[in-house]
Amino acid sequence: MERPDARHVTIETQSYLRQQAIRLRQQGKGVKDISEYLGVHRSTVWEWWWEYEHCGEAGLYQLKRGRAVGHGRILEVEEEEEIRRCRIIILRIMRSAVLCGQEEQYKV
C-alpha cells in the first residue's frame, strides 16, 4: 500500500499526526508501530518526539515551509511589472495581426 505524502496534507492534518504520535508514544507504543499506523517514516516520529521532549507543545507547531515570497529574485518588482506590460502589448499586437491576416510579418 502506498503512503500519502504528508507534505501535501493541510497543516491541521500534520499537526494532528504529530499530536497522535506523541500521545501514542506516551502510552508506550513503539516508534515502528506508530510510524506504520500514521503512515510516516520512523525518523519522522523520532524527530517529533525529540522536539516534544525538548520544546514541549511548542515543538509540535508546524512552521511554514518553502522559500519566502520574492526569495532568489533577479529582477526588481518594477522590472517584472514592465516586462508584464510589454508582454501584454506584444500579445495584443500579435492577436490583431492574426485577425487581420498579417501574422507572417510578426513571426519570430
Contact 21, 38 (CB under 8 A): yes
> Percent of the chain, pLDDT > 90?
36
- The pLDDT value recorded for residue 102 is 67
Q: What is the pTM of this model?
A: 0.55
Taking Cα atoms as reference points, which of 5, 19, 25, 4 lies closest to residue 65? 5
Half-sphere exposure of 40 (CA within 13 A, CB side): 21
Q: What pLDDT, on the 0 to 100 scale, is given for residue 104?
A: 65
pLDDT in tens, 39-66: 888 999 999 999 888 888 877 777 777 7
The confidence band for 24, taking pLDDT boundaries of 50, 70 and 90, is very high
